[in-house]
């Protein structure tokens, strides 16, 4: 009997082992299992990054990510069965898969629940333009109190992206990415490119995509916002360095109508002594709309583009030019792409071959969007861009309509065939593909000039392509201005660090007396909005003035000695004085996965009051920026303008123009200073305790700025362009009250030699207890670097000491 009992005990143990073994299969990067007729795979890309893929049992599919360029790693992990769950443990993360429900949950190493899926995941059969696939849906359960951020750039004015339903589809003024990160220190990227409904309510937080062969998402645990962003970039690509000059001031408008006008604007800035580094030429340098985006100068007012570029360069400025994702039927690119079936048939901008508004559809433009998903089409695009423009010496690209424009939308448009399947399947990734095509091709041509692309749309991963995304054709209203602040912050929280908006808003015609008289630059209502927007733009990764209806050049707003002109001049000058700080921050962005525009929760997550502040942020890790986003001197004009209606100037509601205003009056605004540190008023050096709201007196030329205790801010010389003077005598502003560190970064400013190690770092530290500043030994070298220089160290109380520096460590004691 004992032998018989022992035999069955052994059999039972053996059978149980087989049963458990059949619950999952261990792979080199994770596990595979099947639960309730759903195949589930967990792959580790790093100890704190897991990819989850789900598909109907036994259904084969191919999924090549467009955003993620990383590969699964051989991560050390343990897998076992605990309480009917497959539990995977790495050094950073614990992931469990419920063997009864298939629900996947995530835990920190100390057992804290980070995120868990909710039951109800769906695959709904869907015919995608003749291809059998699915609509896919995955819900999650979030804590009631946690805040989430991201989803790209939305115009909803919200900082926290909760309690909302949003259809994520690319548009002119909204750039979407199905990604969010939480105040609990994790992020989720839903790797799907079709239109996707994001829902967050008291029941669930979910993604529902129109088409997908599988549920595919990445969970990353960074412990804090910077950590999550580092994981995003590890997955989807690092942000390369931009040239120093791109961080200077850019002037643009819709549009300069001749090459003489372009050159004259730069000349006028030089004559006035106003710093300028970039000038942008908008559309129609190619001629009429049938030649749309010809990548050729067929407009007779641009009859010598080579000379135009050389004239701009001779004044030590740089130039960008507008290029589009579509072509007119009379262009060479159109003809070649059309023969190969690489053009889409849905309606895009412009709809008429005539320039009149509204579009005269008796003369359709025939303009069509090209298939940027097709590598051969991207080759053709670059061939004409290179031969027609880049070889002339053009410095940068303004890639407009990269969402792309999709007008008169019809459901069947989404069935349009692309190289990668239906347009529906890959819709939201269009900007990633077209911008990436230009970046990759220019990098293949030369490493002597860094790629710089200003573009209207973005998708996760686009940061690897030298792209600075702007917020589209937003209206010139205070409400629109206010919306740009959280839009830029949430975009940055997706891991894409370069962002800006049209300073002053794009559609400003309602401030004119009549639609074509250009009186808005003299209208106090618009002047106040423009100055406040410009102050915000000073603390964006790109400082660029642009719009239609109104001239945007400083000399159109008055003259020196007048409040509006002086306020604009002051901000441009401040931008240039901060270039050493900004350029060093750009190195932190590229080399250490940091961010320029930092939502307050990034640095002060323990202060719950900052979680939902949508009108303040950190620029770099030292400067708190609090734009004045409400009118103080003039009544706010409430005008609803969309990017399409904005062109209909005849129908635009007009605002007041004759308003008596004294822009020299002192006003007041309230600022919240985050807890946990001391703060210094940038303008007055007045000290404040954090964790409270204060009143700040302002004038038109003052934006509230506060510097965190322990900060070290390098200040550069007064210049007319970014590289006019070497940084051989910098001021180091030191704000005592806490220990602090800063790394001053320098390289050759406009090539890719830094990727080969041609750069220097000078570590600078402040010891608050000993009141000693140490400028550490220089690390690295590059051709033409400064070997000797002087620093003037200034404490916030005005105390100064100078020191000579030759690359060896030196200290200054106060």
Percentage helix, strand, coil for the chain under 3-state DSSP, each rounded to 5: 25, 30, 45
Domain end point (choices 620, 651, 682) = 651
* Catalytic hit among 117, 403, 502, 553: 403
More confident residue, 67 or 2: 67
Task: State the Cα–Cα distance between residues 244 and 719, nearest whole angstrom.
Answer: 13
Closest by CA position to 419, among listed 472, 365, 376: 376
Res 5 pLDDT > 50 = no
What are the structure tokens assigned to 706, written together? Answer: 């506060």
Q: What percent of the chain has pLDDT over 70?
A: 96
Residues 363, 223, single domain; the answer is: no
Torsion angle defined by CA atoms of residues 271, 274, 280 and 284, in that order, rounded to the nearest 10 degrees: -50
Task: State the Cα–Cα distance between residues 9 and 725, nearest whole angstrom.
Answer: 85
Residues 646, 719, single domain; the answer is: no
- In terms of C-beta density within 10 A (0-12 exposed, 13-18 middle, 19 or more buried), how is residue 354 classed? middle
Total structural domains within the chain: 3
Contacts of residue 659, defined as CB under 8 A and 6 or more positions apart, other chains included, come to 523, 524, 525, 634, 635
- In terms of C-beta density within 10 A (0-12 exposed, 13-18 middle, 19 or more buried), how is residue 784 classed? exposed
Backbone angles phi, psi at 743, to 5 degrees: -115, 115
Residues 752, 637, single domain; the answer is: no
Residue 379 lies in a domain: yes
Q: What pLDDT band is residue 696 in, cutting at 50, 70 and 90?
A: very high
Residue 666 lies in a domain: no
Res 264 pLDDT > 80 = yes
- In terms of C-beta density within 10 A (0-12 exposed, 13-18 middle, 19 or more buried), how is residue 216 classed? buried
Q: CA–CA distance from 112 to each of 183, 184, 396, 608 (Å)?
A: 14, 10, 47, 19
Task: State the Cα–Cα distance between residues 767 and 744, nearest whole angstrom.
Answer: 17
Residue 72 lies in a domain: no
Q: Which helix (H) or strand (E) element contains residue 6? A: helix 2-23
Bridge-based pairing of strands 318-323 and 278-281 is parallel
pLDDT of residue 514: 75
CA atoms within 13 A on the CB side of 741: 6
CA atoms within 13 A on the CB side of 168: 32
pLDDT of residue 652: 59
pLDDT of residue 791: 98
Residues 158, 252, single domain; the answer is: no
Residues 258, 232, single domain; the answer is: no
Comparing 241-255, 363-377, 510-524, which segment has the lowest mean pLDDT?
A: 510-524
Task: State the Cα–Cα distance between residues 563 and 532, nearest whole angstrom.
Answer: 13
Across-strand partners of 127? 132
pLDDT of residue 18: 37
Res 408 pLDDT > 60 = yes
Backbone angles phi, psi at 698, to 5 degrees: -135, 160
Give the domain extent around 415: 244-651
Bridge-based pairing of strands 789-795 and 729-734 is parallel
Q: What pLDDT band is residue 1 in, cutting at 50, 70 and 90?
A: very low
Helices H, strands E: what count in the chain?
13, 47
Q: Which residue, chain included where needed, has tokens 């880049």?
A: 390
pLDDT of residue 6: 35
More confident residue, 308 or 358: 308
Residues 217, 251, single domain; the answer is: no
Task: State the Cα–Cα distance between residues 807 and 794, nearest whole angstrom.
Answer: 20
Res 221 pLDDT > 90 = yes
Residue 685 lies in a domain: no
Instruction: Please compute Rg for the chain using Cα positions.
Output: 28
| Sign of the CA dihedral with 309 first, then 312, 313, and 314 last | positive
Residue 507: give its domain's CATH number.
Answer: 3.20.20.80
Total-model pTM: 0.96
pLDDT digits (tens, 9 = 90+) for 271-305: 999 999 999 999 999 999 999 999 999 999 999 99
Residues 220, 265, single domain; the answer is: no
Q: Are 419 and 362 in contact (CB under 8 A)?
A: no
Residues 121, 270, single domain; the answer is: no
Residues 137, 224, single domain; the answer is: yes
Backbone angles phi, psi at 156, to 5 degrees: -95, -5
Report cis status (omega within 30 of 0) of the bond before 151.
no
Active site residue 403: yes
Residue 720: give its domain's CATH number.
Answer: 2.60.40.1180
Q: What is the mean pLDDT of the chain?
A: 95
Q: CA–CA distance from 592 to each of 467, 598, 603, 743 (Å)?
A: 18, 14, 16, 12
Q: What pLDDT band is residue 21 in, cutting at 50, 70 and 90?
A: very low
Residue 152: give its domain's CATH number.
Answer: 2.60.40.1760
pLDDT digits (tens, 9 = 90+) for 355-399: 888 899 999 999 999 999 999 999 999 999 999 999 999 999 999
Torsion angle defined by CA atoms of residues 209, 215, 216 and 219, in that order, rounded to the nearest 10 degrees: 100
Task: State the Cα–Cα distance between residues 471 and 512, nearest whole angstrom.
Answer: 23
Domain end point (choices 236, 260, 286) = 236
* Catalytic hit among 400, 502, 549, 701: 400
Residue 707 lies in a domain: no
Res 12 pLDDT > 60 = no
User: Mean pLDDT throughout 43-55?
Assistant: 98
Residue 702 lies in a domain: no
pLDDT of residue 515: 62
Q: What is the maximum span of the chain, computed from C-alpha positions, in angstroms?
A: 108
What are the structure tokens assigned to 585, written together? Answer: 């921050």
Res 435 pLDDT > 70 = yes
Torsion angle defined by CA atoms of residues 113, 118, 119 and 125, in that order, rounded to the nearest 10 degrees: -130
Q: What pLDDT band is residue 16 in, cutting at 50, 70 and 90?
A: very low
3-state secondary structure of 314: helix
What DSSP letter does each residue of 149-215 carry, written as one string?
EEEEE-SS--SS--SEEEEE---SS-EEEEEEEETTSEEEEE---S-EEEEESSS-EEEEEEEESSE
Closest by CA position to 66, among listed 191, 232, 152, 194: 191
What are the structure tokens assigned to 538, written together? Answer: 């000073």
What are the structure tokens assigned to 186, written together? Answer: 């994790």
Task: State the Cα–Cα distance between residues 606 and 96, nearest whole angstrom.
Answer: 28
Active site residue 264: no
Active site residue 83: no
* Catalytic hit among 41, 200, 371, 473: 473
Q: CA–CA distance from 749 to each of 443, 462, 590 (Å)?
A: 16, 22, 14
Residue 217 lies in a domain: yes
| Sign of the CA dihedral with 536 first, then 541, 545, and 549 last | negative
Q: Which residue, chain included where needed, has tokens 């996947």?
A: 104
Task: State the Cα–Cα distance between residues 442 and 449, nearest whole angstrom.
Answer: 9
3-state secondary structure of 438: helix
Contacts of residue 4, defined as CB under 8 A and 6 or more positions apart, other chains included, come to none
Residues 362, 484, single domain; the answer is: yes
Closest by CA position to 182, among listed 238, 216, 144, 239: 144
Task: State the Cα–Cα distance between residues 760 and 779, nearest whole angstrom.
Answer: 5
What DSSP letter does each residue of 545-581 carry, written as one string?
E--BSS--SGGGS--TTSHHHHHHHHHHHHHHHTHHH
Domain end point (choices 183, 208, 236) = 236
| Sign of the CA dihedral with 89 first, then 95, 96, and 97 last | negative
Bridge-based pairing of strands 617-619 and 597-599 is antiparallel
Residues 8, 112, single domain; the answer is: yes
Q: Which residue, chain included where needed, has tokens 């994981």?
A: 231
Centre a 10 Å sphere on the Cβ of residue 144 and count the other Cβ atoms it contains.
7
Residue 216 lies in a domain: yes
Residues 216, 264, single domain; the answer is: no
Burial pattern 503-528, b for ≥16 Cβ within 10 A else e, equals: bbbbbbbbbbeeeeebebbbbbbbbb
pLDDT of residue 653: 67
Res 516 pLDDT > 70 = no
Task: State the Cα–Cα distance between residues 302 and 151, nearest whole angstrom.
Answer: 41
Bridge-based pairing of strands 278-281 and 597-599 is unpaired
């Amino acid at each position: 009997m004992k032998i018989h009992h022992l035999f069955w005990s052994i059999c039972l143990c053996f059978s149980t082992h087989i049963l458990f073994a059949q619950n999952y299969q261990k792979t080199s990067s994770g596990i595979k299992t099947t639960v309730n007729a759903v195949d589930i795979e967990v792959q580790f890309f790093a100890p704190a990054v897991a990819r989850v893929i789900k598909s109907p049992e036994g259904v084969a599919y191919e999924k090549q990510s467009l955003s993620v360029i990383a590969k699964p790693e051989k991560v050390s992990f343990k897998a076992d069965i605990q309480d009917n769950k497959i539990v995977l443990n790495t050094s950073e993360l614990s992931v469990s898969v419920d063997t009864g429900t298939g629900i996947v949950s995530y835990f920190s190493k100390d057992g804290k629940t980070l995120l868990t899926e909710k039951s109800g995941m769906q695959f709904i059969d869907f015919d995608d333009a003749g291809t059998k696939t699915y609509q896919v849906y995955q819900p999650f359960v979030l804590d009631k109190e946690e805040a989430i951020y991201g989803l790209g750039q939305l115009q909803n004015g919200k900082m926290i992206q909760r309690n909302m339903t949003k259809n994520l589809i690319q548009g002119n003024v909204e750039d979407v990415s199905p990604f969010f990160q939480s105040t609990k220190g994790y992020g989720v990227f839903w790797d799907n490119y079709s239109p996707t409904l994001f829902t967050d309510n008291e029941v669930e937080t979910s993604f529902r995509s129109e088409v997908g062969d599988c549920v595919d998402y990445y969970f990353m645990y960074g412990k804090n916002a910077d950590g999550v962003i580092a994981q995003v970039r590890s997955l989807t690509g690092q942000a390369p360095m931009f040239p120093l000059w791109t961080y200077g001031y850019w002037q643009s408008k819709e549009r300069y109508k001749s090459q003489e006008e372009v050159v004259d604007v730069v000349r006028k800035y030089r004559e006035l002594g106003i710093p300028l580094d970039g000038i942008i030429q908008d559309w129609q340098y190619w001629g009429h709309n049938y030649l749309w985006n010809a990548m050729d100068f067929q407009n007779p007012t641009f009859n010598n583009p080579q000379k135009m570029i050389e004239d701009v360069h001779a004044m030590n400025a740089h130039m960008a030019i507008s290029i589009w994702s579509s072509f007119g039927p009379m262009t060479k690119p159109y003809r070649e792409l059309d023969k190969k079936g690489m053009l889409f048939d849905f309606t895009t901008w412009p709809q008429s071959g005539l320039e009149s508004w509204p579009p005269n559809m008796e003369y359709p433009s025939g303009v069509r969007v090209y298939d940027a998903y097709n590598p051969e089409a991207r080759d053709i695009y670059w061939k004409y861009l290179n031969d027609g423009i880049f070889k002339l010496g053009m410095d940068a690209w303004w890639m407009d309509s990269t969402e792309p424009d999709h007008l008169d939308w019809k459901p069947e448009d989404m069935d349009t065939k692309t190289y990668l399947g239906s347009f529906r399947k890959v819709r939201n990734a269009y900007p990633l593909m077209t911008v990436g095509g230009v970046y990759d091709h220019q990098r293949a041509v030369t490493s002597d000039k860094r790629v710089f692309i200003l573009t209207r749309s973005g998708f996760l991963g686009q940061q690897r392509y030298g792209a600075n995304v702007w917020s589209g054709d937003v209206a010139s209203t205070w409400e629109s201005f206010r919306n740009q602040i959280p839009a830029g912050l949430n975009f940055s929280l997706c891991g894409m660090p370069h962002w800006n908006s049209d300073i002053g808003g794009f559609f400003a015609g309602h401030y004119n007396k009549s639609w074509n008289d250009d009186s808005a630059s003299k209208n106090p209502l618009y002047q106040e909005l423009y100055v406040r927007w410009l102050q915000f733009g000073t603390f964006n990764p790109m400082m660029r003035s642009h719009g239609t209806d109104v001239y945007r050049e400083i000399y159109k707003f008055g003259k020196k000695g007048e409040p509006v002109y002086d306020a604009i001049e002051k901000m441009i000058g401040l931008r240039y004085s901060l270039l050493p700080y900004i350029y060093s921050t750009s190195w932190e962005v590229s080399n250490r996965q940091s961010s320029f525009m930092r939502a307050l929760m990034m640095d002060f997550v323990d202060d719950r009051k900052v979680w939902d502040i949508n009108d303040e942020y950190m620029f770099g890790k030292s400067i708190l920026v609090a734009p004045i986003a409400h009118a103080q001197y003039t009544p706010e004009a409430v005008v609803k303008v969309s990017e399409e209606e904005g062109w209909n100037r005849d129908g635009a509601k007009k605002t007041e123009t004759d308003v008596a205003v004294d822009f020299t009056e002192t006003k007041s605004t309230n600022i919240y200073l985050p807890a946990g540190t001391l703060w210094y008023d940038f303008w007055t050096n007045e000290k404040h305790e954090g964790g409270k709201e204060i009143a700040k007196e302002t004038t038109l030329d003052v934006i509230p700025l506060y510097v965190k205790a322990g900060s070290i801010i390098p200040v550069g010389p007064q210049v007319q362009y970014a590289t006019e003077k070497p940084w051989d005598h910098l001021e180091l502003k030191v704000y005592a009250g806490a220990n602090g560190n800063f790394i001053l970064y320098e390289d050759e400013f406009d090539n890719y030699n830094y990727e080969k190690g041609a750069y220097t770092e000078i570590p600078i530290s402040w010891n608050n207890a000993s009141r000693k500043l140490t400028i550490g030994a220089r690390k690295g070298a590059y051709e033409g670097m400064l070997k000797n220089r002087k620093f003037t160290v200034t404490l916030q109380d005005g105390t100064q000491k100078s020191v000579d520096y030759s690359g060896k460590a030196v200290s200054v004691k106060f």
